[in-house]
A and B are shown apart, each in its own frame.
Chain A
Amino acid sequence: MSTSTHSRRPRESAAAVVGSPQSRRRGTKPVNWRRTGAWVLVMIAVVVTIAPFLWMLRTALSSNHSLASNAGNLLPADFSWGAFQRVLGLQSPEQAIAEGGSGAAINFWLYLRNSIVFATMTTAGQVFFSAMAAYAFSRLRWPGRNKVFAIFLATMMVPPIFTALPNFLMIKNLGLLNSFAGLALPYMFMTPFAIFFLRQFFLSMSREVEEAAMLDGAKHLRIFFQIVIPNAAAPLATLALLTFIGQWNEYFWPLLVGQDENVRVLTVGLGVFKSQSPQGAPDWSGLMAATLVAALPVLLLFIAFGKKVVNSIGFSGIK
C-alpha cells in the first residue's frame, strides 16, 4: 500500500466538484469564502509550526544577558555569535562564564562525531540486512516463509522499553557498555518496519529481468546485488533517510548505554548541557544554539530530500 501510487491519483476533480466539507461557512459566495477561510487556517498551521524554529534562531543569535530585558523583542537581543562560539568550543571558559554560560566543556564536536557514527552504523547495517531479509521474504520461495514473516512483524508490537531493560543487561554482561558496538548492535540487524517496507516494494518489482538473469545462470547473490539493489535504489534511499533521521533523534537507548563522553550522542549531550546550566539564569542562548546545531543535519537532509520523505509517509510509513 505504497503512498506514491496514491499521491498520483487525480483528486482535483473531487475537490472542484465538492467544496471543503469541513468548512461550515455558507455565505452568498460560498466557494470563495470557504477557500479563503481554509487558506487562513492553513497559514495559521504553518506559522504555528515554523515560528518556534525562528524563535530558536533568534535566541541563539542573542546575547544571553540581554534576553531578560528584551524578552518580547522579535529581533535578536543584542546580536552576538557568542552562543554558537560557546557551543562549538571557540570561547575560553572565562569568556563563556562572562557571557552567561556554565563554563563547563561540552565537547560538542565529539558528540556530533558520535551521533554521526551511531546513526551511520545503525542505518547502514539495518537497511542492508533488512534488504537481504526482505529479498528472502519476497523473491524466494521456501516453506514457512509467511509464518516466519508474521513472527517478525509481531515484534513491532513489543514496546521498546520492554526489550530495553534485558538488552541493557546483555550489553552490560558483554562488557559493551559505553562502546559504539553496544550502542549500535540492537539496531544493526533488522527492524520489522524496515523489512516490511522493503518487502512491499520487492513484491511489486517485475520478475522478468530476474528470470532472464537466472537463465543466464546468475545466482541469487548476484541477482540481489546487481539487479534488485540497483532497481530498488529509490525505496532504499527513502528508508535509509527515515532510519538515519530516527537514529539521529534516538534518546532512550543511548541514555542507557552511552553515558560516557567518548560515545555520548548529541541528544544525550543536550540533556546534560541543560542540566549543567546555571540554575538561576540558564544559558538560554547557548542552549538554543546547541539545539539548532544539533537539528541542523536533519534540517539539511530535509531541505535536500524533503519531497521523498513527505511522499513516503502513508500507510506504509506508519511506524
Chain B
Amino acid sequence: MTTLAKQAEPAAPPQSGKPSRFSIRRIGDLKIALLFIFPALIGFVVFFLIPTIRGIYLSFTEYSILGDPTWIGIKNYTAIFSDDLFWNAMAVTVQYVALNIGFQTVIAIGLALLMHRVAKSTFIRGALLLPFLVANVIVALLWFWMLDYQLGIVNEVISWMGLPRIAFFGSEQWAIPTIAFVNVWRHMGYTALLIFAGLQSIPNHVYEVANLDGASPTRTFWSITMPLLRPVLVLVLVVTVIGSFQVFDTVAVTTGGGPVNASRVIQMYIYQKAFGESDFGYASALSVILFIILALVAFIQMKFLKGNETDLD
C-alpha cells in the first residue's frame, strides 16, 4: 500500500474549484485515501468480489460441502435446462412478480398523487410507510393469522357475506396471489414515497400552462405527469422488480414453498437445493441464472423505457 504513494503527505490544501486530477501533488492524497477506503476495500474484496467469482466457479462444479468441489463443466446448466422444478419455480416467480409489481405500482402511483395533491402531512406519509419498516417475517406472520382459514378475520368477514371461506395460504391457486398481496401491502407506502419524491421534481409552471390551456385533470395526468415522471418510475420499477424476483422471507415463513410446488419461488428453490440437499454446485448455477435474469430485466427496463433520459428539456 505504501509503495503506491509517491509522496508522503499532501503538500498543499486541496483547491476548492476543480483541482486537476493529473497534478503530481494530487497523487499525495493516494496514501491517505487508501487508508480511508481500506476497511471498505477489505469488505468489498472479501464479501462481494471473491464470493462473486467463487459463486461463478462453483456453478461449474459438483459440490456437496463435504470434500472438494469437482469440475463438471456445464453439466449443472444442462441439468437445470431439463429440470421441471426449475421451470416451475421460474413460472411461479414470474407470476408473483407480475401480480406484486402490477398492483403495487398502480396503487403507489395513486397514493403518491394523493400525497402530493391532498394529504401533505408527514404523519400520513409516516403511517403509510410503517409496514415497510416492520420485518418481512413479522408481516408474513401477521397476515398468516389474519388470513387463517378457520379463525382469521378476513375469512370471518368473507363468511359473514355468505361467501365460501378461502384457504389463502393452503390452496395451490391462492398461495402465490396471497403472498403477492401481502408484499403489496408491505411495500405500497414505501414505493409511493419514492414516486412522491419524483412528483415533487416536476416544475409547477408545466401544470400552470396546462391549466391555462384548459387541459382536463385526466389529460394532465396522462400528458404531463406520467411522461415527466417516467425516469423516476423506471428507476422505481427496476429496483422493485429486482427485489420482487428475490422474494423469500414471506414464502419461507408461511407456505415453505407449498402446497406441493405452488409457491416454490426461485430463491426458495436455491435455498432448498443448497441447504436441504447440500447440492451447492447446482444451487450456485441456479443463482448465476437468477443473476443473469435480473441483469437482463434491469437492462431491458432501462433501455426500452429510456430511464436515463428526461423529457423536461
Q: Which of B48, B113, B129 contacts A310 (CB 8 A)?
A: B129
Known A11-B204, A158-B291, A252-B249; judge A189-B47 contact (CB<8 A). yes
B13 is an interface residue with CB less than 8 A from chain A: yes
CA of A178 to CA of B204, assembled, Å: 55
- Total B residues in contact with A, Cβ cutoff 8 Å: 117
Q: Measured between C-beta atoms, what is the minimum distance from B236 to chain A in Å?
A: 7
Residues of A within 8 A of B294 (CB): 157, 159
Residues of B within 8 A of A22 (CB): 110, 113-114, 117, 217, 221
Known A55-B153, A307-B126; judge A162-B110 contact (CB<8 A). no
Residues of A within 8 A of B27 (CB): 142-143
CA of A208 to CA of B17, assembled, Å: 11
In contact, A50 and B130 (Cβ under 8 angstroms): yes
Q: Measured between C-beta atoms, what is the minimum distance from A129 to chain B in Å?
A: 4
Residues of A within 8 A of B253 (CB): 270-271, 274
Mark A96-138 against chain B: 1 for CB-CB distance below 8 A, else 0: 0000000000000000000000000000000001101101110
In contact, A21 and B194 (Cβ under 8 angstroms): no
Q: Which residue of A lies closest to B121 (CB)?
A: A42
Known A22-B110, A157-B298, A189-B42; judge A71-B156 contact (CB<8 A). yes
Q: Which of A20, A34, A159, A168 contacts B246 (CB 8 A)?
A: A159
In contact, B225 and A21 (Cβ under 8 angstroms): yes
CA of A270 to CA of B141, assembled, Å: 9
In contact, A284 and B145 (Cβ under 8 angstroms): yes
In contact, B33 and A39 (Cβ under 8 angstroms): no
8 Å CB interface, B187-226 against A: 189-190, 193-194, 197-198, 200-201, 204, 207-208, 210-211, 216-218, 220-221, 224-225
Q: Which of B116, B204, B271, B295 contacts A13 (CB 8 A)?
A: B204
B175 is an interface residue with CB less than 8 A from chain A: no
A248 is an interface residue with CB less than 8 A from chain B: yes
Stretch from A82-90, A229-237, A287-295 contacting the other chain = A287-295
Residues of A within 8 A of B189 (CB): 45, 49
Interface centre among B36, B114, B156, B267 (most CB of A within 10 A): B36
CA of A170 to CA of B201, assembled, Å: 45
Known A22-B113, A142-B30, A163-B47; judge A133-B39 contact (CB<8 A). yes
Q: Which of A130, A189, A207 contacts B14 (CB 8 A)?
A: A207
B44 is an interface residue with CB less than 8 A from chain A: yes
Q: Measured between C-beta atoms, what is the minimum distance from B161 to chain A in Å?
A: 12
In contact, B204 and A14 (Cβ under 8 angstroms): yes
Q: A52-B131, A165-B280, A170-B51 are in contact. List 12 more A-B contacts (CB 8 A).
A: A38-B114, A42-B118, A42-B119, A45-B114, A46-B127, A68-B151, A72-B157, A159-B291, A224-B36, A256-B275, A270-B138, A315-B235
20 contacts between A and B (CB under 8 A): A6-B201, A14-B204, A38-B117, A41-B114, A42-B114, A46-B124, A49-B130, A136-B33, A142-B26, A157-B295, A161-B248, A161-B270, A163-B47, A188-B43, A189-B43, A189-B47, A220-B32, A245-B133, A267-B135, A302-B126
The list of the 3 closest CB pairs from A to B, nearest first, reads A189-B43, A314-B197, A249-B135
Residues of A within 8 A of B (CB): 3, 6-7, 9, 11, 13-15, 17-24, 26, 34-35, 38-39, 41-42, 45-46, 48-50, 52-53, 55-56, 59, 67-68, 71-72, 129-130, 132-133, 135-137, 139-143, 145, 148, 152, 155, 157-163, 165-170, 172, 185-186, 188-190, 195, 207-208, 210-211, 214-215, 219-221, 224, 245, 248-249, 251-252, 255-256, 266-267, 270-271, 274, 284, 287-288, 291, 294-295, 298-299, 302, 306-307, 309-311, 313-315, 317-319
